Amino acid sequence: LARAVTGDGKVSGDALFFGETVTVAGEVADDVRVVGETVRIRGKVAGDAVALGVRLFVEKDAVISGDLYAVGGEIILEGKVSGAVKVAGGAIRISGSVGGAVEIDLGRPERGQSPDGHKRKGGGKHYDERGDEMQRGRIHQNGPPARPPPRHAMTLGRPRL
């Protein structure tokens, strides 16, 4: 497994990236699938994006023209997703734009920890690495229904989203 993988060029079809730290900074003309401890999407994806990792960042300059499917401990979405967003994780923040339905499934933390393993500050509230309070539970936004991930998205079985 590579320590750091950066995709900063142009890919004319699907892209698949594995690594400890993975950055998708270029352009992908179709779907992208990414697995890594830390995953950063800051480029353009013309299709769907499927991401698995401990920390997942869709940065403010990122554009995903399809849907976003993500599973991780911490998921930060600051960029633009034209389609639906279906994510499951311990800590999730969406401050970017989403064109379709949003479905969020927040994990259940261990006693005394926040959903992503961070310590609680008190009062039973959960905080992310920036010190902002986070919510737990299942959140749905009305909109067009999210499409299921492409069958080829996961070769080891579909993530529970």
147 pLDDT above the threshold of 90? no
Residue entry with tokens 């994990």: 107
128 pLDDT above the threshold of 60? no
Largest CA distance in the chain: 50
User: For residue 89, what are its two tokens?
Assistant: 């994780």
Local structure of residue 136 (DSSP, 8 states): -
What CA–CA distance (Å, rounded) separates 57 from 120? 22
In single-letter form, the type of residue at position 1 comes to L
Q: Report percent pLDDT > 90 for the chain.
A: 58
What CA–CA distance (Å, rounded) separates 101 from 84? 5
27 pLDDT above the threshold of 50? yes
When the pLDDT of each residue in the chain is averaged and rounded to a whole number, the result is 78
What pLDDT is stored for residue 43 in this prediction? Answer: 96
Long-range (24+ apart) CB contacts under 8 A made by 48-52 are 48/83, 48/147, 48/149, 48/150, 48/153, 50/149, 50/150, 50/153, 50/154, 52/159
Please check whether residue 67 is in contact with residue 85, taking contact to mean a CB–CB distance below 8 angstroms.
yes
**CB neighbourhood size of 95 (10 A):** 9
What pLDDT is stored for residue 126 in this prediction? Answer: 46
